């Protein structure tokens, strides 16, 4: 308990940033999806093709992810915005258990708050079946395909993040590449699973929508995929190759992680 209190006292700004980050992501997801998928929306009429609408949603959400990662908040907290990412870095020894606990709680609370705020602003349109609080659910090919797809995209994303973020020369590009993957996944993979990769993101939609169908997929597949990516990376490169838990480290913000960059980018706390 003492460790938790000390962590909260020292690192509460990062926890708030994580909550706010996923909250803003959920606001963006709700607004963009409603604007393009709600049948009575002017944009839905202007863009009749479902694939093109999904591409536009992907570009908007990928852009949102990039903006959050490179924002001052994202630079300081590391912009995990995802309990599966946090757990993967905890398994890799880059984040203390106290910070991991508070990060995951903050992400869940922030995601729910963001979705509820968006729902209040949007109104009844968010309840339309084509929007439905932007829930993530298995598509036409069922739960098996959804689980496999979530596992695969989570594995690839975390693998790319580890490869890029742990090289000083490439670290600054991590957010851009991650955002591009989000855009690609929404465009191509969303029909299979709804494209989550994030237990907190799925929870934020499931709560107000009261849709829990195959929710276990979104709790397990992203976590397993990212843990597997971490294990593969360590086996290929060694544990010493994992430098930090930040997605963007070329900045002057403090770093609260077990950081291998040292004085190159911010002071480790």
Residue 162 within any structural domain of the chain? yes
* Residue 6: other Cβ atoms inside 10 A: 11
* Whole-number Å distance between alpha carbons of 226 and 155: 5
pTM of the model: 0.93
Domain containing residue 157: CATH number: 1.20.1080.10
Q: Which of 9, 67, 42 is nearest to 183 (CA)?
A: 67
Residue 243 within any structural domain of the chain? yes
**Residues 6+ away with beta carbon under 8 Å from 167:** none
Q: For residues 26, 27, 28 and 31, what is the CA-based torsion angle, rounded to 10 degrees? A: 120
How many folded domains does the chain comprise? 1
Whether the pLDDT of residue 25 is over 60: the answer is: yes
Residue 93 phi/psi, 5° resolution?
Answer: 80, 20
Domain ranges, residue 104? 2-264
Residue 225 pLDDT: 98
Whether the pLDDT of residue 45 is over 70: the answer is: yes
pLDDT digits (tens, 9 = 90+) for 200-236: 999 999 999 999 999 999 999 999 999 999 999 999 9
* Whole-number Å distance between alpha carbons of 110 and 32: 18
Residue 51 within any structural domain of the chain? yes
Whether the pLDDT of residue 269 is over 80: the answer is: no
Residue 91 within any structural domain of the chain? yes
* Whole-number Å distance between alpha carbons of 68 and 165: 16
Residue 65 within any structural domain of the chain? yes
Q: What percent of the chain has pLDDT over 90?
A: 85
Residue 260 within any structural domain of the chain? yes
Does residue 17 or residue 240 have the better pLDDT? Answer: 17
**Secondary structure (DSSP) of 197-263:** --HHHHHHHHHHHT--TTHHHHHHHHHHHHHHHHHHHHHHH-GGG---S-S--SSSS-B-S--SSGG
Mean pLDDT of 110-117: 98
Residue 269 within any structural domain of the chain? no
**Secondary structure (DSSP) of 109-137:** HHHHHHHHHHHHHHGGGGGSTTTGGG---
Residue 184 within any structural domain of the chain? yes
């Amino acid at each position: 308990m003492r460790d938790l209190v000390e962590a909260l006292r020292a690192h509460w700004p990062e926890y708030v940033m994580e909550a706010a980050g996923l909250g803003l992501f959920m606001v963006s997801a709700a607004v963009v999806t409603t604007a393009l998928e709600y049948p009575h929306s002017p944009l839905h009429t202007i863009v009749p093709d479902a694939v093109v609408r999904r591409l536009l949603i992907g570009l908007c959400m990928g852009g949102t992810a990039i903006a959050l990662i490179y924002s001052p908040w994202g630079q300081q907290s590391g912009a995990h915005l995802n309990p599966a990412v946090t757990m993967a870095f905890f398994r890799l020894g880059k984040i203390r258990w106290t910070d991991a606990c508070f990060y995951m709680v903050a992400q869940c609370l922030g995601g729910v708050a963001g979705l509820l705020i968006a729902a209040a602003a949007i109104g009844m349109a968010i309840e339309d079946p084509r929007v439905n609080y932007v829930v993530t659910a298995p598509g036409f090919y069922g739960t098996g395909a959804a689980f496999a797809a979530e596992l695969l995209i989570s594995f690839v994303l975390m693998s790319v993040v580890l490869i890029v973020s742990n090289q000083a020369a490439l670290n600054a590009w991590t957010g851009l590449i991650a955002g591009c993957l989000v855009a690609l996944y929404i465009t191509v993979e969303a029909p299979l699973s709804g494209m989550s990769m994030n237990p907190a993101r799925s929870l934020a939609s499931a709560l107000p929508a009261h849709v829990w169908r195959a929710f276990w997929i979104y709790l397990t597949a992203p976590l397993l995929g990212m843990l597997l990516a971490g294990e593969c990376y360590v086996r290929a490169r060694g544990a010493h190759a994992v430098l930090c838990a930040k997605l963007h480290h070329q900045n002057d913000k403090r770093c609260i992680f077990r950081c291998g960059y040292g004085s190159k980018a911010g002071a480790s706390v």
